[in-house]
Structure 1
C-alpha cells in the first residue's frame, strides 16, 4: 500500500513530542513493508525535490516550514500527482488538514487525520473546521479524543491509537540496579517532580531508593528541593539516558511514578509498565496517564502527596517483576496493524478495495 503522510514539520526540523509520534508512525508503517511518502517542508541541503532516507521518501512541498500558505496551495496537487492509496495528515497546523482533504479528494482516496495535542488542541475557527474533516480522526488517548470531539469532530469517526513501544527490545535488556521508585521525564516546568519528592519525604523514616531520569531547566531546583527535604542521599538524578539505559532502569525498579501535569500519552510509563513496574499516577485534568492504570491491579491513581506516599507503601506488597506481557497490545507491530486496519476499512467503505 502506498501511504502519503502530510506534516509540514517533521522530527528532522524540530524534535517535538508530536513530531516524534509522526516519525514513529512512518517507521512502523515502513517496517510493515509499505511504500511510505512524507509531504513536508524541505529539510535537506541539495536542490533535489525529494529525499529518500531510511526507506521513507520525503517530498518538499515548500522550502521552509514558515511558508504555510504556499504549502497549503501546492499540497493538493502534489498529493494528486502521487496518487496514493491513502492520505494520512497531521493536524498541526490545522490548515494543512484542509489542504490534505483537497488532495485526498483529487486523488480519490480516503483521509485519516492524526491529532496529537502535545500543546493541547486549540479552540479557534481553523481547528474547528479541521476537526470536521477526515474519514477517520486518530488520537493517542481518550483525553485527546475528547478534545477533538469538543472542537466538532464526529465521535463516530474518532479512533484512539496509543504510541507504540517495542516489546522485544525490553526483553533484550538486562534489569539494572534494584530501586524502589523510578521517575522519567524532561525536568521542565511541567514535570511536577515536586509531588513525588514531597510524597517520598512522607516516607523518610522508611528504607527506599529512587532514580530520577531526565534533564532540563528545573533539574537544579528539584535537586535543591530534595536536599531541603533531607532525602537527597536516597535519590539518584541520572540525567539524560539512552533507551537501553532507561529500560534497564525500569526492569530493575519496582514502581514507576507519573506526576506530570500535562501528558497526552505517557510513553515512558508504558515502557516502564511493560518492563514490570507497578504504576502510580497522580491524576491531572490535562494528563491521560491514568488511562493506562484504570482497572489494573498493579496500578494506582492518586490526587495528593499523601495518597502517593500511601500508594508507594501499598505497591511494596506486590511482587517484583521485570516484564509484563499485558502490554503487548502496545507493541509497534500491533499498532501498525491497527493503522492498516483503518486504511483498509476506509478504502473498503469507499469501494476502493
Structure 2
C-alpha cells in the first residue's frame, strides 16, 4: 500500500511515451544468459538451466517485438548471473560502449539473470558514457515455464529503449511492468515476479504493454557525468563484503586483508554497526590503507556518516543509500581512482 500511494503521488510529474513514439528506433539486444533464457529440464519441474536459449530465440519468442523498433541482437556470454564476474563486466561494458558510440544504434537492451542484475546494472551506469537508453531486462521464471514473465519484460524493455524520453536516464531495469534506475533497484524476494523495487525511492517509470509512463529523473551522477571508465582496465581491485552478526569474529577480516582485499564493505547490523572487536580490527585495516565502507544488512534505509560510529576518527566511509552489493561496485571503481577514504566518501555522496 505504501508503494502504491507513493506511485500515485508521482503521477503529477509523469511523462507518457507510447509504442508509436519510436518505431524506427534501432535497438541492439545484448544477451548474457540468465533465467530469462532458461529452460526447465522437464515440464512442470521447478529446476532449470539458465542461458539455454540464445538471443535470436528470445527475440523470436516475443510477438510484435519488431513493431516497437528495428531489432538486432548478439550473444556476449551465456551464463547464470550467479557466475557474473569482473572479467565479464569489463567485456560487457566495452561492448555496450562500442554499441552506444555507433551511429547504427539508438539504444541497448541487455538480458541478464536476476541474481546479480542490480550490481551489473549499477556498474554499467557508472562506466557507460552516453545519453542513449540502456535497459537491463530479466525474468523470475524460465522461458519454458507456465506464465513466463520474460517475454513481457523484454517487450517493455525494448519499448523503453526505443523511447526518446528514456534518453539521459542512465541504466534502467525492466521487470514486472516497472522500470527502475539501476542505482535504486534491488532484488527483494527470491522467487516472486514482483521482486525488484526501489526500496528507498519510487520507480523510474511504469509500463503497460509497451506504453511507458515516466517519472522524475535521477539526480545522482551516472553516464556522461561519471568520472569512471573501463578504458585500459583489465581487472578491478578486490573488494570483499563481510556480514555482521552477533559475536562477529575478526578472522574473516584478517583473511580478506591477507588475501589482497583493497576494500571491505560491511553489511552491518542496524545502521551499519558491528561488534567492538570487528570495529577495532577494521580501524586497523583502514589505518593500513584498506578502504572500509559501512553499509547495512537490513535491505533499506540510509547509513549516515558518523551516526553511532565515528567515521572521521576511524577513516571509514558511510554508504548512504547504497546496499552492500552496490557499495562493493562503487568501491571497486573508486579504488581505480584513489584509496583516500575522504575522496571515496565524496564518490558515495555523489553517485
Larger radius of gyration: 1
TM-score (norm 2): 0.29
Where is the helix percentage greater, Structure 1 or Structure 2?
Answer: 1
